[in-house]
Structure 1
Amino acid sequence: MAALRHSSRFTERLLARARFASPSPSPLTQRCRARFYSSSESPAPPLLQKIKADLKAAMRAKDAARLTAIRSILSATLNASKTATPITTDAQLVALLKKTQRASLDASAEFAAANRQDLVDKEVAQIAVYEEYISSSGVEEVSEEQLRAVVSGVVTALTSEGALLADGKARFGDVMKKLLAPGGPLEGKDVEKAQLAKIVKEVTAN
């Protein structure tokens, strides 16, 4: 009996040591784990989803021009995802498409000057693919006249709110932030940021 009691106490000590060595996770740890496993990336914008789907169709059809164009687009979006401004909207993707299209236009001009019509034809075919996606994107393109009207309206609103510099002029950064903010007047629209910045500087300088 004494040996049995000794064995029982020994077993209890082992169990107590095991409980001490393996404490239950704290509520904070459990919440962190839940957030880690439940986190997911934001869905790709609709136009990018379509382009990805078209890649498979182009591969099946052996459409070389479309394949090259789509791979170029996907490579550019992948590079953008590693920066502070990833592609998260159709408007951003359209801006990227236009930039890629301009690069192809420049390349075709260089090939034409070098009498490489074969390469010119390839670039022209890719340009047509970019234009197809831009035209079917549904993203509203804003003219310079419309941009100036929108910028002037925002500057007037900020002026009335008192967001001014010492000389009574609206701050450039405040205007840009207001224009491009979620729910702002230019959200979801095809706008060249360089052109927008130029107009904002001109309007705020007056």
Structure 2
Amino acid sequence: MSMLSALRTSQHSCISRTSFSSILMQRASRCYSTTTEDAPPPFLQKIKADLKTAMRAKDTPRLSVLRAILSANLNASKTASPIQTDVQLVALIRRIQKSAQDAVEDAKTAGRDDLVNKEMEQVRIMDEYIAGSGVQTLGEAELKTLAQDAIEASKAAGTATKAIVGDVMKRLAGALEGKDVDRKALAAMIKELVGQ
């Protein structure tokens, strides 16, 4: 009985198949259109290309570093704040580098020189990528002068002593936009300069 009813409905729907398929194609083309704002950062594309080169050259330390970066990027893409700029990618590499430096310290205390050498090589490779990223990294001296100027401006504006650190960070936000800066270290430097 169900086969018979299916045949009857298919005979009646033959007339409107062409219009249905054209509507379906229009909707499908709209659903699959892409925008340019979702393009990955250029530095990420360089890392992916270097991964292929490292695979061909069988460069194991570089390969493990690049895989760690791409894995962390993939994990970040599944969160509410995915990596969208080169600055964010450099900050991600710095976090990976920090964990590698912690592993070096742990290996030194355990007396494992083989692991120390391996982790130090990975830290060196990450330094290469940070330097070659094209993102401007501010040194401690530059940050100190920027922070001192912002502290003076904040004090001149009459900001309360307890609120100076937050006010200075807000004042520096524009100057630090698009640059590689460790904001926690900057906040600690500002607290030290203010005397808190």
State the TM-score bracket (shorter-chain normalisation).
0.5 to 0.7
The answer to whether the 8 A contact 1:169-1:204 is kept is no
Match of 1:53 among 49, 53, 66: 49
* Match of residue 179 from structure 1: 172
Shift of 1:39: 3.8
Separation of aligned partners in 2, 1:153 and 1:85: 32
The answer to whether the 8 A contact 1:69-1:130 is kept is yes
TM-score, structure 1 as length reference: 0.65
Separation of aligned partners in 2, 1:170 and 1:106: 33
Shift of 1:203: 6.7
TM-aligned CA distance change 1:96 to 1:37, over 3 Å = same
TM-aligned CA distance change 1:127 to 1:168, over 3 Å = closer
Q: How many residues align?
A: 173
Match of 1:188 among 156, 159, 178: 178
Partner SS, residue 38 of structure 1: coil
TM-aligned CA distance change 1:144 to 1:112, over 3 Å = closer
Residues 73-125 of structure 1: per-residue CA shift (max 9 Å, x gap): 11112222233433222222222222212211221232233233332232122
* Match of residue 10 from structure 1: none
Shift of 1:199: 4.1
Separation of aligned partners in 2, 1:84 and 1:205: 36
TM-aligned CA distance change 1:57 to 1:138, over 3 Å = same
Please say which structure displays the higher CA radius of gyration: 1
Match of 1:69 among 62, 65, 68: 65
Unaligned regions of 5+ residues in structure 1, if any? 1-13
Question: Is 1:37 paired with 2:21?
Answer: no
* Match of residue 97 from structure 2: 101
* Match of residue 3 from structure 1: none
TM-aligned CA distance change 1:178 to 1:124, over 3 Å = same
The answer to whether the 8 A contact 2:54-2:63 is kept is yes
- Letter in structure 1 aligned against 2:182: E
Match of 1:116 among 74, 88, 112: 112
Unaligned regions of 5+ residues in structure 2, if any? 1-11
Separation of aligned partners in 1, 2:54 and 2:114: 21
TM-aligned CA distance change 1:153 to 1:116, over 3 Å = closer
Residues 146-201 of structure 1: per-residue CA shift (max 9 Å, x gap): 224334555638976xxx76x59867556544533xxx211221100102233455
Separation of aligned partners in 2, 1:178 and 1:85: 24
TM-aligned CA distance change 1:62 to 1:148, over 3 Å = same
TM-score, structure 2 as length reference: 0.67
Shift of 1:205: 8.1
CA RMSD of the aligned region, Å?
3.7
The answer to whether the 8 A contact 2:93-2:126 is kept is yes
The answer to whether the 8 A contact 1:101-1:127 is kept is yes
Separation of aligned partners in 2, 1:85 and 1:205: 34
